[in-house]
């Protein structure tokens, strides 16, 4: 249970820092079902890092390293980049959990997170997040290169201060601009191999930038009531479904067209091109299907926005598998041969 000093619970900027754990909370769960308290507690700290979100970041980081190398990159470099990127993303997610613990407490979807249940203390999460920030930056700087380290640190700081503290609670476009932090792994992967950033990397950055709203807004549609209860102005909370669906379609078209821009810039071959065209066409079909249902006034409970949410993950996976395989199995297009 979360408690707030009287008179402060309605002030978002204050709620962030005054949330406390009810001392009467049952902490017996710390011992876990098999009595292994340390193992359970470690698992709680790991969950603050949001491993499932980090999986999406790795889907984009590793394939870009293949493209930048125009083949199979050095295995140790891949491992070092993945470990450093995982720690950096985990640090950002941990600090996000620390700041948003008041929101998480009133949203059903996040009500079992460690800072809400009391299995991890706020100060413990804060120290853990800061420690991960330092370790990940030093790791990337010493074992990969300092450009990758600064890019990772910049993404982390933007996610924590730009998105979580500044944008999330103030604008319906929060996820659009906040999503820029999630685009950084492609730049980190490219710079890890080349020591620089190219137009090809920037195009893939934009692909993920345009992908983020069509990926996240369907989830926001599904949990609209949760966000409304937490007073988070996600677009589906403040706009009609048909407006949200129109913007999803617009960003989807921008994403697909941007993905095709990589063809002339990087001179990729058939493998990537086919992946981009087929996956993009299916994505646009799903986005337009959602818009058609919204225009027809389909009830919210049968709109099924999560269908697009789940397919968006498939789209990103297919596209970046194409990114990784194209330089290995390069079949040049006729007009670039």
Q: Do residues 129 and 91 touch, judged by C-beta distance below 8 A?
A: yes
Q: Determine the Cα–Cα distance for residues 155 and 148; give it in Å rounded to an integer.
A: 11
In a domain, 205, yes or no: yes
- Whether residue 220 is found in the same domain as residue 279: yes
Q: Is 246 exposed, middle or buried (0-12, 13-18, 19+ CB in 10 A)?
A: middle
Residue where the block lists tokens 């470690």? 42
User: What distance lies between CA 301 and its chain's CA centroid?
Assistant: 26
The per-residue pLDDT string of the chain (337 residues; one tens digit each, 9 = 90 and over) reads 333 333 333 333 333 333 333 433 444 444 444 445 888 999 999 999 998 888 878 889 999 999 999 999 999 999 999 999 999 999 999 999 999 999 999 998 888 999 999 999 999 999 999 999 999 999 999 999 999 999 999 999 999 999 999 999 999 999 998 889 889 999 999 999 999 999 999 999 999 999 999 999 998 888 888 899 889 999 999 999 999 999 999 999 999 999 999 999 999 999 999 999 999 999 999 999 999 999 988 776 677 888 999 999 999 999 999 999 999 998 888 875 5
Query: Looking at residue 72, which CATH number applies to its domain?
Result: 1.10.357.140
Residue where the block lists tokens 């203390």? 121
3-state SS, residue 305 = coil
The reported pLDDT for the residue numbered 109 is 85
Residue 324: which residues within 8 A CB-CB, separation 6 or more? Answer: 62, 63, 66, 67
Query: If we measure between CA atoms, which residue out of 132, 148, 249, 139 comes closest to residue 195?
Result: 148
In a domain, 77, yes or no: yes
Domain span at 262: 198-337
How many other CB atoms are there within 10 angstroms of residue 292's CB atom?
12
Token pair for residue 119? 């299995």
Examine the fold and report which residue of 196, 224, 249 is the final residue of a domain before the chain moves on: 196
Establish how many alpha carbons lie within 13 A of residue 268's alpha carbon, considering only the half-sphere containing its beta carbon: 32
CA Rg value for the chain? 21
- Whether residue 186 is found in the same domain as residue 56: yes
Torsional sign, CA 188, 190, 191, 193: positive
- Whether residue 242 is found in the same domain as residue 173: no
- Whether residue 283 is found in the same domain as residue 165: no
How much is the pTM?
A: 0.86
Token pair for residue 66? 């293949």
How many other CB atoms are there within 10 angstroms of residue 50's CB atom?
17
- Whether residue 214 is found in the same domain as residue 323: yes
Residue 36: which residues within 8 A CB-CB, separation 6 or more? Answer: none
Query: If we measure between CA atoms, which residue out of 295, 286, 288 comes closest to residue 243?
Result: 295
- Whether residue 146 is found in the same domain as residue 116: yes
β-pair partners for 3: 20
The reported pLDDT for the residue numbered 328 is 94
The reported pLDDT for the residue numbered 337 is 53
In a domain, 87, yes or no: yes
User: What distance lies between CA 56 and its chain's CA centroid?
Assistant: 7
Examine the fold and report which residue of 196, 228, 257 is the final residue of a domain before the chain moves on: 196
Q: How many residues does the chain have?
A: 337
- Whether residue 50 is found in the same domain as residue 191: yes
- Whether residue 185 is found in the same domain as residue 72: yes
Q: Determine the Cα–Cα distance for residues 217 and 227; give it in Å rounded to an integer.
A: 12
Examine the fold and report which residue of 166, 196, 226 is the final residue of a domain before the chain moves on: 196
- Whether residue 319 is found in the same domain as residue 204: yes
Q: Do residues 41 and 125 touch, judged by C-beta distance below 8 A?
A: no
Q: Do residues 203 and 265 touch, judged by C-beta distance below 8 A?
A: yes
Helical axes 51-69 vs 199-222, angle rounded to 10°? 160
Q: Do residues 148 and 88 touch, judged by C-beta distance below 8 A?
A: no
Query: If we measure between CA atoms, which residue out of 5, 2, 24, 25 comes closest to residue 14?
Result: 5
Query: Looking at residue 255, which CATH number applies to its domain?
Result: 1.20.120
In the chain, the number of structural domains is 2
In a domain, 225, yes or no: yes
- Whether residue 50 is found in the same domain as residue 185: yes
Q: Determine the Cα–Cα distance for residues 93 and 163; give it in Å rounded to an integer.
A: 12
DSSP codes joined into one string, 159-199? IIIIIIIIITTT-TTHHHHHTHHHHHHHHHHHHHHHSS--H
Q: Determine the Cα–Cα distance for residues 82 and 142; give it in Å rounded to an integer.
A: 14
Q: Do residues 88 and 156 touch, judged by C-beta distance below 8 A?
A: yes
Token pair for residue 122? 């706020």
In a domain, 31, yes or no: no
């Amino acid at each position: 249970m979360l408690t707030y000093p009287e008179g402060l619970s309605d002030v978002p900027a204050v709620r962030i820092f005054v949330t406390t754990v009810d001392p009467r909370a049952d902490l017996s769960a710390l011992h876990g079902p098999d009595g292994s308290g340390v193992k359970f507690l470690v698992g709680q700290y790991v969950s603050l890092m949001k491993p499932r979100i980090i999986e999406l970041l790795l889907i984009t980081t590793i394939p870009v390293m293949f493209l930048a190398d125009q083949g199979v990159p050095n295995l140790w470099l891949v491992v070092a980049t993945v470990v450093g990127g995982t720690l950096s993303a985990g640090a950002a997610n941990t600090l996000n959990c620390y700041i948003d613990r008041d929101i998480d407490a009133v949203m059903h979807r996040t009500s079992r997170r460690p800072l809400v249940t009391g299995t991890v203390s706020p100060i413990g999460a804060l120290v853990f997040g800061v420690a991960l920030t330092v370790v990940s930056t030093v790791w990337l700087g010493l074992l990969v290169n300092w450009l990758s380290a600064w890019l990772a640190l910049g993404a982390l700081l933007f996610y924590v201060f730009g998105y979580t503290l500044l944008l999330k609670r103030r604008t319906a476009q929060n996820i659009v601009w906040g999503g820029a932090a999630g685009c950084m792994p492609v730049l980190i992967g490219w710079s890890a191999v080349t020591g620089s950033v190219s137009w090809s990397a920037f195009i893939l950055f934009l692909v993920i930038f345009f992908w983020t709203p069509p990926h996240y807004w369907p989830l926001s549609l599904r949990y609209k009531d949760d966000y409304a209860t937490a007073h988070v102005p996600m677009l589906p909370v403040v706009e009609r479904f048909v407006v949200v669906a129109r913007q999803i379609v617009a960003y989807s078209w921008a994403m697909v067209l941007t993905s095709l821009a990589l063809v002339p810039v990087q001179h990729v071959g058939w493998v990537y091109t086919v992946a981009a065209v087929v996956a993009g066409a299916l994505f646009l079909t799903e986005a337009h299907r959602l818009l058609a249902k919204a225009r027809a006034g389909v009830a919210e409970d049968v709109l099924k926005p999560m269908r697009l949410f789940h397919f968006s993950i498939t789209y990103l996976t297919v596209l970046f598998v194409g990114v990784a395989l194209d330089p290995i199995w390069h079949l040049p297009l006729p007009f670039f041969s």
